Amino acid sequence: MPGLMLNEDDSHFYGSRTPDQMTVEGCQELVDHYVSPQMKELIFNPNAMRTSFPSKVWEPIWADYDPNGPEVQEALKNRDLWKNFAKLWPHNARLLAEKGIDAYKIWLDYTRQKGISAWISMRMNDVHDVSVPESLLLSEFWRSHPEYRRAGYRMESWPDYAFDYGRPEVREHHMKLIREYFERWDFDGFEMDWMRFGFHFKPGFEQEGCAQLTDFTAEVRDLAEKWSAKRGHPIRLAARVPTRPEAALGLGMDAIEWARRGLVDVVVVTPFWTSTDTDIPVEMWRQLLGDKVAIAAALEIGLMPSPESFADGRFLHTAETARGTAASFLHRGADRVYLFNYMDSQTTVDDADDYRQILNHCGCLETATAHPRRHVVSFADTWAPGQPQPQALPARAAKNRTAAFRIHIGPRPTASRAQAWIGLGQGGELDASGLEGRLNTQRLAPTDVKPPKVHPCVKTLAGFEIDPATLHDGYNVVEIRATGEQEYKLVWAEIRIG
């Protein structure tokens, strides 16, 4: 049966609650927010570069924090982003440890009581804040070994300062924490989150890195088998990798070999963070991985039409866009829809009603397609160094230049109303009356439906009515061209059904 997996990150609970809520009941209340008929696995992440519990092998997040110190401390002077959250996180995590309350044990046990499988996830190479030397997020191991950084000769983005897994010292540093996880907690599954942050080798060393990560994964599998025998139940293994197979392989994550050797039970195909990839090739992954490995296709919280759209802001999923994307994933053969950054506050969707609809509808094809859904063009945000990075938007449409969008809608509707929506941006003609639209070669008429909420990069929205009979299962091609001499810049494209 399909369903949902949800990842609770290492900081959200601590930074979103008050010290008074650092109790057993307060921990259980978090789980209650995520319970839904379609939730199959809850996955709890206890670490970034430091841990949110009193680890014996890594230092905890509160290592540089003085609860009795001044309001502004050196370790908290990193970025405006953290503000009060930055203080609550180490303060509350430390408070729980002082009380002897193990939040992760409570979450694992209480999740099982709710009939949901309980997992632990480890971020394998988290580099939040590496550009801020005094940040409380940075470990002493990282600070004291700049030679272990994959591209320490530059700082263009955080992954430049990620650990280089080509170093045996780096692999052993992370394996120590994995061993502690298995010893400390009884869980149903363990996830290796290779997408935090996705770059684990020096540029040009990813090919030999494949063998190193495969050996590493084999060691974790041996550990899981050992602890499965001790715990008296199977412990499943999952790995988070990029949405496109060539990107995963190009970055050293040979999920195909892991599946062939039986090293993993679940492969989570996921974007990094920039945007949900609405066109994950689940069918291709199935052919490559075989039938013995479950495929979880990930919904990130954001939905962006192109990398350049960030200049105008961020668009977060609505219930309709989440349902459309989930319907496509499930129709293509995904075993799970995986929710990342869908916490119950802070990092979440804008509308609380949308949030509950996502939890109640997006794990099942029947419920995802029983309500209005939107299928929006986006892009894949993770590629290996030097790989070409295709994207459909922005696009240009003119009298002799047709812009085409290949949009996967899952199962075609039988009776619902449908439209194609095209967004026009700055740098082109904004009078949409000069546009002609076609779907699968059939001419489209303008629609009278109220325009949906779209990304702020859209300055004008053109809508076209679709005869549902012209839609296909799976992919449909929307073509846009100009009828006059003006050229148009297109920055958004979608098919809405219902």
Residue 421's φ and ψ, nearest 5 degrees, are -120, 130
State the Cα–Cα distance between residues 162 and 150, nearest whole angstrom. Answer: 6
Q: How many CB atoms lie within 10 A of CB 344?
A: 18
81's CB contacts (< 8 A; 6+ apart) are: none
State the Cα–Cα distance between residues 322 and 300, nearest whole angstrom. Answer: 9
User: HSE-up of 24 (CA within 13 Å, CB side)?
Assistant: 6
**pLDDT value of residue 75:** 61
Contact between 176 and 106 under an 8 Å Cβ cutoff? The reply is no
Token pair listed for 453 = 């909420």
**pLDDT value of residue 68:** 77
Instruction: For the domain covering 4-371, report its CATH number.
Output: 3.20.20.80
37: cis peptide before it, omega within 30°? no
Amino acid making up residue 176 = K
Render each residue's pLDDT in the chain as its tens digit; 498 residues.
Answer: 899 999 999 999 999 999 999 999 999 999 999 999 999 999 999 999 999 999 999 999 999 887 777 665 666 665 554 557 778 899 999 999 999 999 999 999 999 999 999 999 999 999 999 998 888 899 999 999 999 999 999 999 999 999 999 999 999 999 999 999 999 999 999 999 999 999 999 999 999 999 999 999 999 999 999 999 999 999 999 999 999 999 999 999 999 999 999 999 999 999 999 999 999 999 999 999 999 999 999 999 999 999 999 999 999 999 999 999 999 999 999 999 999 999 988 788 999 899 999 999 999 999 999 999 999 999 999 999 999 999 999 999 999 999 999 999 999 998 889 999 999 998 888 899 999 999 999 999 999 999 999 999 999 999 999 999 999 999 999 999 999 999 999 999 999 999
- pTM reported for the whole predicted model: 0.97
CA distances from 40 to 114, 115, 167, 317, 362 (A): 10, 8, 36, 21, 12
Query: Is beta strand 488-497 parallel, antiparallel or unpaired with respect to 418-424?
Result: antiparallel
State the Cα–Cα distance between residues 378 and 371, nearest whole angstrom. Answer: 22
3-class SS of residue 110? helix
Q: What is the largest CA-CA distance in the chain?
A: 73
State the Cα–Cα distance between residues 10 and 343, nearest whole angstrom. Answer: 11
Amino acid making up residue 275 = S
Contact between 54 and 26 under an 8 Å Cβ cutoff? The reply is no
What residues are paired with 336 via a beta bridge?
A: 296
Instruction: For the domain covering 395-497, report its CATH number.
Output: 2.60.120.1200
State the Cα–Cα distance between residues 137 and 370, nearest whole angstrom. Answer: 43
**Residue in 252, 248, 246, 157 with CA at minimum distance from that of residue 200:** 252
Contact between 185 and 113 under an 8 Å Cβ cutoff? The reply is no
3-class SS of residue 123? strand
CA distances from 15 to 11, 85, 354, 458 (A): 6, 5, 23, 34
Query: Is beta strand 336-340 parallel, antiparallel or unpaired with respect to 294-299?
Result: parallel
Burial class (CB in 10 A: 0-12, 13-18, 19+), 474: middle
Domain positions in the chain: 4-371, 395-497
* Residue 15 parent element (H or E): helix 12-16
